[in-house]
């Protein structure tokens, strides 16, 4: 019986998946308007599955009954007499039932199926996709590979201009974020700041982090700075939206790295009568500056990617070039050659910027040493924390 519940769970999972796929594929997409009822369908299906799984689980539990009874008897006996020496078999522990863990897994499956039903995806469309992908990527590669004539040269240069504009947006955004994040980070570091400033600062930063950058862009900076192409202010709106939302993450990371500094120099400068500002300038900043620079550069890479989505909302850059209604994907029929060229430029520029910034980061942190492959000999794995790298 020991593996019975695993078999059953697998079976139930398979049935669930099959049923879910059926439900998803054959739901009439046009009038499947009520998300809620579709999700309920999925949930009901899943609830049945959970019931079955629970029953199986109960059976499995009952199956170990004899062993548990023996264990109880053994324990009771050992309480009675001193020096009870059980034989070897008796020492084997009972397999602990990981009830909540299993339940969490089952719930995850349920969640998956019901939300897959909830999205109302028309999965059957996937069947037609490969042919189109083949056709279109052929055209895209053809577009990139052909010898440029006048028209195609225009595609290349507009893609390149838009991508550089994205880089410019990301740069200004990172700069704005960087300028504000250093003081904010210092104010949000527990070892440098009194509690009275620390708590409000932390609160403000977590509020900033909670607001998505599209909200900043749409609600504040597009009205304030304009929308559309760069000369009408769209790019500036994007840059400032990125900048403000960078402040949140950057300050948090910086404050964490400040909290992790070596306390020795701080105490030394405090002991020699330095003022607070002097201590920050001479004891803290030299220690954290390389890491802070690396954090800023990392955020720059992230911002390049993030600027695309703001562009789709009306802020400038590559997002504006590709997104409908006026962009490349808004035209019918699709101009696949131009799209291919644009994608190529996006990939090339992004990877180039990543490489350069990665090189500078490495140089800033490790100095002028030759890159060597050293395996970290972590004695104990550091405790898992939410990812410090805020990738996008």
Report the nearest approach of another protein to the CB of residue 83 (Å): 17
* CA nearest to 155, candidates 383, 375, 337: 337
Report the nearest approach of another protein to the CB of residue 116 (Å): 5
Q: Which range, of 141-149, 185-193, 253-261, 349-357, touches another protein by CB under 8 A?
A: 349-357
DSSP annotation of 232 reads G
Q: Which is nearer to another protein, 92 or 197 (CB)?
A: 92
* CA nearest to 143, candidates 152, 134, 130: 152
Helical residues (DSSP H) of 260-392, grouped into ranges: 263-271, 276-279, 285-312, 318-322, 336-366
Q: Which range, of 51-59, 67-75, 145-153, 377-385, touches another protein by CB under 8 A?
A: 377-385
Report the nearest approach of another protein to the CB of residue 150 (Å): 23
Of 197-226, binders to another protein (CB under 8 A) are: 209-212, 214-215, 218-220, 223-226
318 with 346: CB under 8 angstroms? Answer: yes
Q: Which is nearer to another protein, 197 or 289 (CB)?
A: 289
* CA nearest to 165, candidates 233, 247, 118: 233
Of 259-288, binders to another protein (CB under 8 A) are: 282, 286
Of residues 239, 241, 292, 295, which one binds another protein by CB under 8 A?
A: 239
Q: Which is nearer to another protein, 72 or 92 (CB)?
A: 92
Residue entry with tokens 């050293």: 374
**What six digits make up the tokens of 186?**
């210092």
Report the nearest approach of another protein to the CB of residue 11 (Å): 14
Q: Which is nearer to another protein, 62 or 392 (CB)?
A: 392
**What six digits make up the tokens of 68?**
């548990």
Report the nearest approach of another protein to the CB of residue 4 (Å): 12
Count H helices and E strands in the chain, helices first. Answer: 16, 0
245 with 213: CB under 8 angstroms? Answer: yes
Of 293-332, binders to another protein (CB under 8 A) are: 305-306, 308-309, 311-314, 316, 318-319, 322-324, 329
d(CA 265, CA 279): 9
Of residues 103, 164, 204, 274, which one binds another protein by CB under 8 A?
A: 164
**What six digits make up the tokens of 122?**
């028309």
Of 76-105, binders to another protein (CB under 8 A) are: 88, 91-93, 95-96
**What six digits make up the tokens of 212?**
């998505």
Helical residues (DSSP H) of 64-119, grouped into ranges: 65-80, 88-91, 99-119
Question: Does residue 167 bind another protein (CB under 8 A)?
Answer: yes
Torsion of CA 96, 101, 106, 109, to 10 degrees: -140
Residue count of the chain: 392
Question: Does residue 138 bind another protein (CB under 8 A)?
Answer: no
Instruction: State the number of CA atoms in the 13 A half-sphere of 87 facing the CB.
Output: 2
Contact map string, positions 40 to 79, toward another protein, x by CB under 8 A: ----------------------------------------
DSSP annotation of 30 reads T
Of residues 159, 187, 188, 230, which one binds another protein by CB under 8 A?
A: 230
Report the nearest approach of another protein to the CB of residue 36 (Å): 7
Of residues 76, 129, 271, 370, which one binds another protein by CB under 8 A?
A: 129
Q: Which range, of 62-70, 116-124, 148-156, 184-192, touches another protein by CB under 8 A?
A: 116-124
């Amino acid at each position: 019986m020991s593996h019975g519940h695993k078999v059953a769970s697998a079976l139930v999972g398979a049935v669930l998946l099959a049923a879910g796929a059926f439900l998803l594929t054959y739901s009439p997409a046009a009038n499947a308007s009520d998300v809620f009822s579709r999700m309920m369908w999925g949930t009901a299906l899943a609830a049945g599955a959970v019931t079955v799984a629970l029953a199986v689980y109960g059976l499995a539990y009952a199956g170990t009954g004899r062993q548990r009874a023996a264990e109880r008897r053994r324990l009771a006996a050992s309480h009675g007499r001193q020096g009870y020496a059980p034989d070897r078999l008796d020492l084997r522990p009972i397999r602990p039932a990981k009830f909540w863990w299993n339940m969490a897994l089952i719930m995850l499956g349920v969640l998956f199926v019901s939300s897959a039903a909830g999205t109302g995806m028309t999965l059957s469309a996937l069947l037609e996709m490969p042919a189109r992908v083949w056709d279109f990527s052929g055209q895209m590669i053809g577009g990139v590979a052909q010898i440029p004539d006048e028209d195609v040269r225009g595609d290349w240069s507009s893609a390149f201009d838009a991508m550089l504009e994205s880089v410019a947006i990301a740069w200004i955004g990172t700069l704005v974020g960087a300028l504000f994040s250093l003081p904010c980070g210092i104010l949000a570091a527990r070892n440098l700041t009194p509690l009275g400033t620390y708590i409000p600062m932390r609160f403000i930063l977590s509020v900033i982090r909670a607001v998505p950058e599209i909200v900043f862009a749409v609600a504040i900076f597009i009205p304030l700075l304009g929308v559309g192409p760069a000369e009408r202010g769209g790019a500036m709106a994007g840059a400032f939206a990125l900048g403000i939302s960078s402040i949140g993450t950057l300050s948090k990371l910086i404050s964490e790295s400040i909290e992790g500094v070596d306390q020795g120099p701080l105490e030394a400068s405090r002991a020699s009568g330095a003022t607070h500002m002097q201590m920050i300038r001479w004891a803290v900043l030299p220690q954290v500056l390389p890491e802070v620079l690396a954090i800023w550069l990392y955020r720059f890479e992230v911002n390049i990617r993030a600027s695309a989505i703001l562009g789709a909302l009306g802020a400038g850059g590559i997002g504006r070039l590709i997104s409908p209604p006026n962009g490349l994907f808004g035209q019918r029929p699709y101009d696949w050659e131009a799209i291919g060229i644009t994608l190529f430029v996006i990939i090339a520029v992004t990877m180039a910027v990543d490489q350069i910034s990665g090189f500078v980061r490495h140089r800033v942190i490790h100095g002028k040493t030759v890159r060597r492959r050293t395996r970290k000999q972590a004695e104990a794995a550091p405790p898992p924390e939410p990812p410090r790298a805020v990738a996008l």
